[in-house]
A and B are shown apart, each in its own frame.
Chain A
């Protein structure tokens, strides 16, 4: 009550000159900056840059995916082996014992007369080295080529996943490379577990489409054959997608694959069941036309990710380069599959290394809880400072509020992400930002006790406190920077709010309050009321 009465007296004393100084001008500008740029975040206006909420506050999915890059090199080697075999067959070169390992292929040349011919072919394969050991020829990928293949596989996976997620319909999915072989995927705004699983299915689907010829000469014996027997004829055994017991014997080398696809979309068959229509590019259409023309009466297997989806009879030459994949899909599955096909296949499979998924209701609860903590802590600190230091406390509180506004403004301007630990960082900033003002006020009190003039007490108080505040803040900043550099995900948010909070406090608590004191100096002098201004007697 006494505080209130005395506050009212101040305007009367304000007739004494109030000096403007550069500190107060900078402080005022900083406050204007803080207000202007924090308004979009505070009031959630339409336009303007806002603070983005982290996945732990708004709900969403964060995943770190690994890429099985060794499988990319393996498939590279396999395709080289296939081309060697193809070349030898066409040129009547006899080879034997064709085997592959992780990065090389080996075979025996039966007739040394063909050596120069096959060596020439081998030397034309990019990024490889040919080795000769008697009649055994080997071809291995150079370490550089292995690295390149792996790198390409990762980049291609990132590109593919991004394409797929862009079409999935969530706002601003994040797909980024982390380290050398890891992929970071962040999806905000996922509502349910089912939706999340759908997204994960879409991301991880290989979506490798192959059109393969059924080996009609031997297919009747497919149930008596093993994989080795099939390989002898250049065939593979694939099972049906709906009924895994049903097998097909198909030619190993596909007629064409998804790489020649130009479009895929969902459609319906005559019974109104969803299916996928696809279109091939010109080259694919020609190959497809030629093949169907040659193979009337035989069957064509539509193979997706190593499973036979259908194997229709070829009744006539199919020109135009379009086809259908029918299966037992729901509309949703068919839609997602079409997206996956359109975006292309994943060259190498991906696997889950880390996943953080937060439901939207939990995010909302976290926001509520941390807001209560923030407001509660804020109110306690403000009341305490006013109670202990009177008007000096009020000045410190002005600095504290300015600090929070600037913190929010800087975060909005840089589009920084506010996470739950970030909220904790803000709460902590509230507690620690007043520290500078406590140090300064204590120094001023000391000097007043020593009988110094008000001017000297204020100026020396700031000068004496400066070193300690700087040293203390810089060491805290060192800890925050290390945390930012080594922290991951949400923890980075904590380091960000702490760092910005500390730097803003140097502006508000040191420069800002100093400006206020300088402006009010003569008023304070005239009042001769140390109890009102600094909470001390004398």
Chain B
């Protein structure tokens, strides 16, 4: 079976202006959501407490709220359904530092009389740990991008590196916008998903760039636009296929992976779609606009081969002289 035949080259770069408008719109929309609504930090980064409770029957949320009102400790806490009607999650801004009796134990005591329940999960993150995780998280994102930038610049050329980083920032921005839009809690797992998007989207970009690199070294072609169009066309089947298989697994994870993995799977789902789009319509056009000059590159390449040939010649002369 074949999705695409290699009989004709699609003019992707002809659509690049349109794509840019779409990308800019999406990114601007993402940031306006981010700035108006604000990123919803979960306990991992903001500190606080999450208690997950499962009842034998439907969770009596109203009765629970009433009970929690009796204690000022629970001021500002929220109760919401978690996956099924008999399971709920209580989120609190407060954490506690007492080892023996923590806020989870207090919650258990406070909810006595609301029915038969089991506390399945208690996450308490103190303010220092939250701040530390936030700092580390941000650091990991920055470091990952830097590491990738250096590697791509080393393996390709700086313009390729910058183009791929712009595409990555584009992807992460839109993913963050989507997360904020649906109001997901940003926890460590969402951060891991964002880093995975970095890796995944870059994967796609590099496959396309590799083709461009191959096309550029081929002396016959001089128009970068044509090279890019051909490279994107030739990798289109692969891009579609891998995106599909990845989409399959992420989608099953989203559907069947359970409530806890939901934010992670959602972030990836957005990332797979945006990452695929960006490697075709964001990274490649930027390469074009950056004025990557094929003729210059050829000249540089020719010079390099000439230098090496000269070196080899000198080495040969030297060796024959020694004889």
- Residues B207 and A472 in contact, CB atoms below 8 Å apart: yes
Cβ of B260 under 8 Å from chain A: yes
Q: In the complex, what residues of A have CB within 8 A of residue B256's CB?
A: 369, 372-373, 376
Are B203 and A472 interface neighbours, CB within 8 A?
A: yes
**B99 engages A352 (CB within 8 Å):** yes
B74 interfacial by beta-carbon distance below 8 Å: no
- Is B52 a contact of A362 with CB atoms below 8 Å? yes
CB of A118 within 8 Å of the partner chain: no
B312 contacts across to A, CB distance below 8 A: none
CB pair A471–B249 under 8 Å, yes or no, is no
A350→B129 contact, CB < 8 A: no
A442 to B1 CA separation, bound complex (whole angstroms): 12
Task: Check: B133 CB closer than 8 A to any chain A CB.
Answer: yes
Interface residue A503 (Cβ < 8 Å from any Cβ of B):
no
Residue of A nearest to B239 (CB): A438
Q: Given the interface contacts A442-B237, A472-B207, does A353 sit within 8 Å of B128 by beta carbon?
A: yes
Say whether A359 contacts B253, CB under 8 Å.
Answer: no
Q: Is there an interface contact between A380 and B248, defined as CB atoms closer than 8 Å?
A: yes
- The chain B residue sitting closest to A367, CB to CB, is B258
Query: Contact string, A369-387, partner B, CB cutoff 8 A, digits 1/0?
Result: 1101100111011001101
Q: Is the CB of B199 within 8 A of A446?
A: no
Please indicate the chain A residues that have their CB under 8 angstroms from the CB of B242 in the complex. Answer: 431-432, 434-435, 438
By a CB distance below 8 angstroms, the chain B residues around A475 are 148, 151-152, 199, 202-203, 206
Contact indicator per residue, chain A 402-430, by CB within 8 Å of chain B (1) or not (0): 00000000000000000011001001101
Which of A6-14, A18-26, A166-174, A195-203 lies on the face that meets chain B?
A195-203
Kindly state whether residue B126 has any CB partner on chain A within 8 Å: yes
Whether, in the assembled complex, B19 has its beta carbon less than 8 Å from a beta carbon of chain A, the answer is no
User: With the chains together, A486 CA to B132 CA distance in Å?
Assistant: 11
Q: A350 to B258: give the CA distance in the assembly, Å.
A: 35
Q: How far is the CA of A354 from the CA of B124 in the complex (A)?
A: 5
Say yes or no: B250 contacts A479, CB within 8 Å.
Answer: no
Contact indicator A359/B118 (Cβ below 8 Å):
yes
CA distance A536 to B207 in the complex (A): 22
- Give the residue name and chain of the A residue nearest to B244 (CB): A384
Contact in complex: A468, B97 (CB < 8 Å): no
The reply to whether B258 and A369 contact each other, CB–CB distance below 8 Å, is yes
CB neighbours (8 Å) of A490 from chain B are 188-189
Residues of B within 8 A of A370 (CB): 253, 257-258, 261
B248 touches A351 (CB 8 A): no
Q: Is B136 an interface residue (CB 8 A)?
A: yes
Q: How far is the CA of A200 from the CA of B211 in the complex (A)?
A: 59
A480 to B126, CA, bound (A): 27
Q: Complex Cα distance A97/B201, Å?
A: 70
Contact A377 B121 (CB under 8 A): no
A388 beta carbon closer than 8 Å to chain B = yes
Q: Is the CB of B253 within 8 A of A485?
A: no
Which of A64, A193, A472, A494 is within 8 Å of B119, CB to CB? Answer: A193
Q: Is the CB of B97 within 8 A of A366?
A: no
Instruction: Determine whether the beta carbon of A434 is less than 8 Å from that of B120.
Output: no
24 A-B residue pairings within 8 Å (CB atoms): A197-B101, A200-B99, A351-B98, A354-B125, A355-B102, A356-B122, A359-B118, A362-B54, A362-B121, A377-B253, A380-B248, A389-B1, A420-B261, A421-B264, A430-B249, A442-B241, A446-B6, A471-B152, A475-B148, A479-B199, A487-B192, A488-B188, A535-B1, A535-B2
A-B contacts besides A432-B245, A434-B242, A478-B199, 12 pairs, CB < 8 Å: A200-B102, A203-B99, A352-B126, A354-B129, A388-B241, A428-B246, A435-B238, A446-B6, A471-B155, A475-B199, A491-B189, A535-B1
